[in-house]
Chain A
Amino acid sequence: MVPTSYFIILSAILFVLGAFAFFVKRDLITQFLCIEVMLSAANLAFIAFAKSASSLDGQIFVIFIITVAAAEAAVGLAIILLVYKQKKTIKSEDMNLMKG
């Protein structure tokens, strides 16, 4: 049996990689992908803890997280499309509309 700590470590690695990529990458779509990777890493932690506590509540939370991710992807991608239509670019450093 694989110990729970291995899964938690893998989840932490994936989360940190996602966060790192979020700051390194410069286009909105890849940054959005990084958010999805981080959400998935959180899902892995939830399911690993659900297994170690032998309860199903963690799995229910993962279902909710996936639902929220789907909603977020729909709205976020619509916003990205809108930004592209207006500015003809999706580079995040070109988003300076709110700069004082």
Chain B
Amino acid sequence: MAHFIFFLLAIVSVGAVVAMIFSKNQAYSALFVILAFICLAGLFGLLDAPFIAVIQIIVYAGAIMILFLFVIMMINLDEGIPPEKKRWTLGLSFMIAGVLFIELIFALKGFLSPAKTAVEGSPGSPTDLGRLLFTKYLYPFEITSVLIIAALVGAMVLVKKKDEGKEED
């Protein structure tokens, strides 16, 4: 079973990256990379790293790639989706919504019945990771927070409007 999941996720992730190489549209490239990242998150789950898997989906596939998509949308100001493709995307969105619904039902079923696997004791649990992060890796953690602040301020300064009335602000 683990082998099957591994090969499925590996083939899909490699295929997504290859599709990213061949795709001409940057927005599609970004979506293919999101697919690859979600597959990688599944592989992380396979490797006893559930917390990293969730982080990968929320931060990487969620936040960072959405940032990419926003920038692509700001730069690509040509035409929208052609009408013959619109029907196809409608079907696709219905399919994705249906898969999400089934997934949510499964998740809620797991919530209603008592959990079989305890998160607390399993390797790679958030508890252990947090303990390690705040003891052995406390200094790197604090330095990372400085890095985040620097990146935030840097990005804001870079894209700030440089207008003539500088003395007003």
Query: Which one, A24, A72, A81, contacts B159 given CB within 8 A?
Result: A81
In the bound complex, residues from chain B placing their C-beta under 8 Å from that of A24 are 21
CA distance A77 to B128 in the complex (A): 34
Which 9 pairs across A and B sit closest by C-beta, in order of nearness?
A71-B151, A78-B158, A78-B155, A74-B155, A21-B21, A2-B6, A51-B47, A17-B17, A77-B71
In the bound complex, residues from chain A placing their C-beta under 8 Å from that of B43 are 7, 10, 44
Among B51, B137, B158, the most chain A Cβ lie within 10 Å of the Cβ of B158
Query: Which one, A43, A71, A77, contacts B40 given CB within 8 A?
Result: A43
CA distance A20 to B75 in the complex (A): 24
Interface 1/0 per residue, B31-68 and A, CB below 8 Å: 00100110010011011110110011001100111011
Q: Are B63 and A70 in contact (CB under 8 A)?
A: yes
A59-B124, A81-B159 are known contacts. Are A7 and B21 too (CB-CB below 8 A)? no
In the bound complex, residues from chain A placing their C-beta under 8 Å from that of B137 are 60, 64
Q: Is residue A95 contacting chain B, with contact meaning CB distance below 8 A?
A: no
